[in-house]
Amino acid sequence: MATDAAGPDGNVPVDKMPRTERGRRTQRAILDAAAAEFGEKGFHEGSISGITRRAGVALGSFYTYFDSKDAVFRALVADMSAQVRDHVAPAIRGADGRIAAERAGLLEFIRFVRTHKEIYRIIDEAEFVDPASFRRHYSTTAERIAARIRTGPEDAQAEVHAWAIMGMNVFLGLRYGVWDEDRSPEDVADVIASLLARGIFGSREGAKGAKEGI
Amino acid sequence: MATDAAGPDGNVPVDKMPRTERGRRTQRAILDAAAAEFGEKGFHEGSISGITRRAGVALGSFYTYFDSKDAVFRALVADMSAQVRDHVAPAIRGADGRIAAERAGLLEFIRFVRTHKEIYRIIDEAEFVDPASFRRHYSTTAERIAARIRTGPEDAQAEVHAWAIMGMNVFLGLRYGVWDEDRSPEDVADVIASLLARGIFGSREGAKGAKEGI
């Protein structure tokens, strides 16, 4: 990756930031087109001309906002990461209690994934195309989860719990959002809320394991 | 992928199966060399000559067991999947109780990952190089977890719990096995065993969330 292609946080560098509302719309159209292009073809087969064709913009407009294919891919990973965060945040903030907040986060994540199935392919491909973006996406997501579940400064378990919750959500989104929609997001979120509240066997009537402890 | 490169389960086709102990050792050496080659260089940059050089075998020996680079990659994904399964299985079987079994599975998985860090890159790249192998790896792993946590034929939650446990383990392995070893596998496994036994806030003294329920 060209190191000057995007800012250190993966976002568009300052000198490439759109200054007008029209500019912001064009940049948005390019990012949406890049999601479609890379989601369908992958990074290596995807092209800038494919992106500008999908976006209906001229090649010059592309280079007004992005230096290269690497740069738009890197900005796209940061953009999808922010889109997920912004989509789930209101539901998490509006939830009544910590378990309800995690339930709402998972529910909205599965809903988001069902309408943005390309997100997995793009973020997963970042592991190979731009490892720093890949690591940044998961590190910042885990830190955000840890911040909301941490019970105090001494809470040494919060980081492990945050990675566990993120892993659950990613795989449940893959299974029930991308691969198959054979179970409702509400049902999946209810099962996980119960697990987080009472443990994996605690909520099942007559579950043999509940009596076994650890 | 060439469809005739490997059997439908990703394993070596019957006519390529080694018939002697020496043949099995050569095949094992080629698979281990392929793990190193693809783990270091990725699928596209990796080569059959790089694999045979690492394995110290002639090109002819490679083609005795594998038809192509695609075929050895596909066999490698199935092999790593089986290696993880075989590494964790004795600890799971020997555990006293269901929660202890999940704790043992996670503990042994993190230990395995620390000595086989290339496994993430290889299985994650399968999403792009050989999507069927990628899907097969996670589907069969989830089915195996579901089978051991299912409390009975009516247990509709087992599949969701299995995907949740797999997701936790994959991300905890990435964070505490591949990226950083700043926390012991035992500590991580203890935190997760407590989560599975009593819920995420249930085990923290004075945790505000524990009183909130869902």
Angstroms from A86 CA to nearest CA on chain B? 22
Helices vs. strands in chain B: H and E counts, helices first: 9, 0
Strands (E), A72-187: none
Among candidates A172, A173, A148, which has minimal Cα distance to A161? A148
Q: Is A114 on the interface with B (CB under 8 A)?
A: no
A134 touches B: beta carbon within 8 Å: no
Q: Which of residues 52-81 of B touch A (CB under 8 A)?
A: none
Rounded Cα gap, residues A72 and A164, in angstroms: 30
pLDDT of residue A17: 80
| CA atoms in the 13 A half-sphere facing the CB of B42 | 12
Q: Which two three-digit tokens encode residue B49?
A: 């000559």
| pLDDT at residue A202 in the model | 72
CATH architecture of the domain covering A14-201 = Orthogonal Bundle (1.10)
- Is the ipTM here above 0.90? no
Q: Under a CB-based contact definition with an 8 Å cutoff, are residues A39 and A78 in contact?
A: no
Write the pLDDT tens digit of every residue in A63-94: 999 999 999 999 999 999 999 999 999 999 99
Chain B residues touching residue A172 (CB < 8 angstroms): 160, 163-164, 167
pLDDT in tens, A8-29: 566 666 667 888 999 999 999 9
Q: Does B1 touch chain A (CB under 8 A)?
A: no
- What's at B190, amino acid-wise? D
pLDDT exceeding 70 applies to what percent of chain A?
87
Q: Which residue of A has its CA nearest to B206?
A: A151
Amino acid, res. A145: I
Q: For B151-199, what is each residue's pLDDT tens digit?
A: 998 998 999 999 999 999 999 999 999 999 999 999 999 999 999 999 9
Q: How close is the nearest chain A Cα to the Cα of B169, in Å?
A: 7
pLDDT value of position A12:
64
Q: Environment class of residue A175 by beta-carbon count within 10 Å: exposed (0-12), middle (13-18) or buried (19+)?
A: buried
Q: Would you tell me which residues 24-43 of chain B have a C-beta closer than 8 angstroms to some C-beta of chain A?
A: 42
Of the partner residues A42, A100, A155, the one whose CB lies closest to the CB of residue B204 = A155
Following DSSP, what letter does each residue of B48-100 receive, concatenated? Answer: HHHHHHHHT--HHHHHHH-SSHHHHHHHHHHHHHHHHHHHHHHHHHHSSSHHH
Residue to substitute from A96, A168, A192, interface B, most B β-carbons within 10 A = A168
Multiple choice CATH, B14-203, 1.10.357.10, 3.40.50.720, 3.40.50.261, 3.40.50.2000: 1.10.357.10
CB atoms near residue A138 (< 10 Å): 21
Asked if A172 lies within 8 A of B171 by C-beta distance, the reply is no
Which among A89, A87, A104, A85 has a CA at the least distance from the CA of A189? Answer: A104
Other residues' Cβ atoms within 10 Å of the Cβ of residue A78: 21
DSSP class of residue A12 equals: P
Centre a 10 Å sphere on the Cβ of residue A202 and count the other Cβ atoms it contains. Answer: 17
